[in-house]
Amino acid sequence: MGGFKEFLMKTNALALAVGVIIGGAVGKVVASLVGDILMPPIGLLLGNVDFSNLFLNLSGVSHATLEEAKKAGAATLNYGAFINTVVDFGIVAFCVYVITKIAMKPAPAPAGPAMKECPLCGESILKVAKKCRYCTSAV
């Protein structure tokens, strides 16, 4: 059991597991956002189109809705669901991009020691120096 704990701590497996769980939850929220919030107004603007019900019937028998076609066991090409999934992916990909940009910001460079210029030779020396290390004059 100790080897498994060591594996978890050394390989960031725990962080990966947390990321996968949170990612799954975010995926569900984004799917609801797209299906329930974004696509209905877009469908309304495009002439009362319900994207989740857009399909191409491949069976040759006419069906009014996707649900009817599925109940009848007809072969369908559900391009409306695909459009919703593409929008889902776009939103998730953008969020990952933003999070990555924030996480990958370079840390500010640490400030160097305070410096001053030697009055005799003009070289840069530490502000707390009593003698110049270049010309050995007292400063």
61 and 128 co-located in one domain = no
95 and 121 co-located in one domain = no
100 and 119 co-located in one domain = no
Which range of residues forms the domain containing residue 123? Answer: 112-139
89 and 116 co-located in one domain = no
Query: What pLDDT, on the 0 to 100 scale, is given for residue 9?
Result: 66
101 and 120 co-located in one domain = no
Query: What pLDDT, on the 0 to 100 scale, is given for residue 44?
Result: 83
Query: What pLDDT, on the 0 to 100 scale, is given for residue 116?
Result: 92
pLDDT by residue for the chain (139 residues), tens digit each? 567 777 666 667 777 777 788 888 888 888 888 888 888 888 888 888 777 788 888 888 888 888 888 888 888 888 888 888 888 888 888 887 887 788 777 777 788 888 999 999 899 999 998 999 888 888 8
72 and 136 co-located in one domain = no
Query: What pLDDT, on the 0 to 100 scale, is given for residue 117?
Result: 92
Number of domains present in the structure of the chain:
2
57 strand-pairing partners: 76
134 and 68 co-located in one domain = no
95 and 45 co-located in one domain = yes
Query: What pLDDT, on the 0 to 100 scale, is given for residue 39?
Result: 81
CATH number at residue 60: 1.10.1200.120
Both tokens assigned to 88 = 């889902």
Distance (Å) of CA 35 to CA 53, 73, 74: 11, 24, 24
The residue type of 90 is: G
Give the C-alpha separation, 8 to 16, whole Å.
10
93 and 65 co-located in one domain = yes
Which residue is it, tokens 């924030």? 102
89 and 36 co-located in one domain = yes
Q: Single out the residue of 43, 121, 126, 88 nearest to residue 134, CA to CA.
A: 121
74 and 59 co-located in one domain = yes
55 and 92 co-located in one domain = yes
